Structure 1
Amino acid sequence: MLLAALGLAAIAGGCLRPLYADSTTSTVGGSVKDALRGVEIADIKGLVGHYLRNELVFNLDGGGAPDATKRLKLEASVNESLEVVTVDYANGRADSAILVATATWKVTDSATGKVVSSGLNQIRAPYDRSEQRFATVRAARDAQVRAGKSLAELIRGQLAADLTS
């Protein structure tokens, strides 16, 4: 019984191929890794958008080939909202909050204008609020940075999956 399970696992293990391997081909030609390096990222408004763009530039290109020919173009917009989770009823202040950041994006082929991939991703980044104003402002900024990084990871994974042929 154990031998049969191990044999089945060995056979199934050969069917998988790494998403970011050089041998994984993309729908736009070349490897998925090369296709991701060929994505130009337009400016994204807002502070979360700024951090999202910076993370995408680094995650897709890796800083290795900034002068490479860009065949695909990613355009995105980010909407932010704030949810108050708990309130201290003694003084009427919110003790914590959640930043909700939603990114709507699409990737188009520059040559054909065809949409290669698109998506809508949402991240929730909680943070504590303090009576000290600067501490609250800094915690909110850290939540925006975390939201940008998390959105970039989600977009990169979804884009890589969509580009796999």
Structure 2
Amino acid sequence: MSLSDQSNRNGPTRRHALLALAGAGLLLGGCQVRPLYGTWGATYSDAPVQGELAAIDIALIDTVDDSDLERVGQLLRNELLFGFRRGGEGDAPRYRLRVILDRKRSEVGVERLSDVPASYTLTMNASFVLSDYATDKTLLTGRSFASASYDFSSQRFANLRAERDAEDRAAKVIAGDVQTRIAGFLAEQQG
């Protein structure tokens, strides 16, 4: 079979593929794709959603019946502040964010014959409310959660450190989730 015979045989298939690609392009022409934290060709500081995020006043994190969570609440607040403001100063507040945090700890594994826990799973739940700063009108509510596990040993300090690390990991996951959901909401309001 010569090269010209092959190209003639594949010709209609190639044309069909090009027509299908063009049709898909027309169908997707109505879709809008744009960066969440920026604009096309603009600098990072000109990003409209980033400017809105920097204008969120974050209240101190409330904790449910657990004074040990104050440290984790402060860590969560710090993560949110850094995520919204990227280490810079915030704009004049246009929004207020309130977060309520709680946690549950459950035994996952138990040592054989000794009936002592071998590992724990820590689950943190955060409920948040984004409201207008001037009118206090609720704009967005939501819940976020994260789980982190840690091993339990016979060393007391190692257990405390492992639990603290699990709390920190869970707080960072919650902060990222809350930030993404609020950024998506603000981008939708602008679009």
Within a 5 Å distance, the mapping from 1:1-165 to structure 2 comes to 1-4=16-19, 6-7=21-22, 8=24, 12=28, 15-22=32-39, 31-45=48-62, 46=69, 47-66=71-90, 68-164=91-187, 165=189
Partners of 1:58 and 1:22 in 2: how far apart?
A: 21
| C-alpha deviation, 1:42, in angstroms | 0.8
What root-mean-square deviation, in Å, do the aligned CA atoms of Structure 1 and Structure 2 show? 2.1
| C-alpha deviation, 1:9, in angstroms | 5.5
Larger Rg: 2
| C-alpha deviation, 1:22, in angstroms | 3.7
Equivalent position amino acid for 1:160 in 2? A
Equivalent position amino acid for 1:129 in 2? F
Partners of 1:5 and 1:71 in 2: how far apart?
A: 47
Q: Which runs of 4+ in 1 moved over 4 A?
A: none
Q: Which runs of 5+ in 1 are unaligned?
A: 24-29
State TM-score, norm by structure 1: 0.86
Q: Which runs of 5+ in 2 are unaligned?
A: 1-15, 41-46, 63-68
What fraction of aligned residue pairs are identical, expressed as a percent?
34
Query: Residue 96 of structure 2: SS of its match in structure 1?
Result: strand
State TM-score, norm by structure 2: 0.75
